[in-house]
């Protein structure tokens, strides 16, 4: 599992001749890093005597869930990419289509989990202890970049999928996640400005 690997080992695997882990897994790990930075800001604020400490304690729990989800999605993305390769090698069109749908669903789930991180970062940067708010802003930017990368993967993959209803659903979800992510990141940036 990616979560159990030292970061250097993971990066070596990314930079290797292997097909996986690739962009989707890296995006998910980046989103998880973003969640962790926002969690850290919550922890430092809750330890202080801020009036929003109780609210940030609940936000921290949600961010921890998102971090775990994103690490799981990193593994799922690597598996989905390998399944696509196997399906193409088989020459079975139905198998290829099923694999392509799975390799589109996973980055869509990654994008939506990253969106949740960026949206929670709005609260964290508004209520967090000032010395840690820049860390939460970095976390939001990482999660937003992961969201953008995941949406890009979704859009590339749906071009190869025959099921029009599936394509329309994924395209709509991608558009919604992208727009909401932009709005949330703008709010984070406004909160983080001195």
Asked if the structure places residue 181 within a domain, the reply is yes
| Both structure tokens of 43 | 């922890």
Give the residue numbers spanning the domain of 129: 20-192
Asked if the structure places residue 14 within a domain, the reply is no
Each residue of 107-146: b (16+ CB within 10 Å) or e? bbbbbbbbbbbbbbbbbbbbbbbeebbebbbbbbbbbbbb
Question: Is residue 149 very low, low, confident or very high in pLDDT (cuts 50, 70, 90)?
Answer: very high
Asked if the structure places residue 42 within a domain, the reply is yes
Asked if the structure places residue 110 within a domain, the reply is yes
User: Is residue 49's pLDDT more than 60?
Assistant: no
Q: How far is CA 31 from the centre of its chain?
A: 4
**Interval 19-39 mean pLDDT:** 96
Asked if the structure places residue 80 within a domain, the reply is yes
For the segment 103-145, what is each residue's pLDDT rounded down to a tens digit? Answer: 999 999 999 999 999 999 999 999 999 999 999 999 999 999 9
**Interval 80-107 mean pLDDT:** 96
pTM value? 0.93
The number of domains in the chain is 1
| Both structure tokens of 67 | 């971090």
Asked if the structure places residue 5 within a domain, the reply is no
Measured at the CA of 125, the angle between CA 121 and CA 188, to 5 degrees, comes to 65
Asked if the structure places residue 164 within a domain, the reply is yes
113: CB partners within 8 A, 6+ apart? 28, 31, 66, 69, 70, 73
**Interval 157-186 mean pLDDT:** 98
Helix (H, G, I), strand (E, B), or coil: what is residue 47?
helix
Asked if the structure places residue 15 within a domain, the reply is no
- Number of Cβ atoms within 10 Å of the Cβ of 90: 12
| Both structure tokens of 90 | 């088989």
| DSSP letters for 132-164 | THHHHHHHHHHHHHHHHHHHHHHHHHHTT---H
> Which CATH number characterizes residue 70's domain?
1.20.120.680
């Amino acid at each position: 599992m990616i979560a159990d690997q030292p970061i250097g080992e993971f990066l070596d695997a990314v930079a290797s001749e292997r097909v996986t882990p690739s962009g989707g897994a890296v995006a998910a790990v980046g989103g998880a890093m973003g969640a962790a930075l926002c969690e850290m800001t919550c922890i430092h604020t809750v330890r202080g005597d801020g009036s929003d400490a109780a609210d940030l304690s609940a936000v921290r729990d949600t961010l921890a869930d998102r971090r775990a989800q994103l690490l799981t999605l990193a593994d799922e993305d690597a598996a989905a990419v390998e399944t696509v390769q196997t399906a193409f090698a088989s020459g079975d069109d139905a198998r290829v289509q099923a694999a392509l749908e799975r390799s589109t669903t996973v980055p869509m789930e990654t994008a939506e989990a990253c969106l949740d991180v960026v949206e929670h970062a709005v609260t964290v940067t508004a209520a967090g202890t000032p010395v840690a708010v820049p860390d939460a802003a970095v976390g939001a930017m990482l999660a937003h970049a992961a969201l953008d990368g995941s949406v890009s993967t979704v859009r590339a993959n749906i071009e190869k999928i025959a099921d029009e209803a599936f394509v329309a659903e994924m395209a709509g979800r991608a558009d919604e996640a992208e727009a909401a992510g932009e709005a949330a990141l703008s709010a984070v940036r406004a909160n983080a400005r001195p």
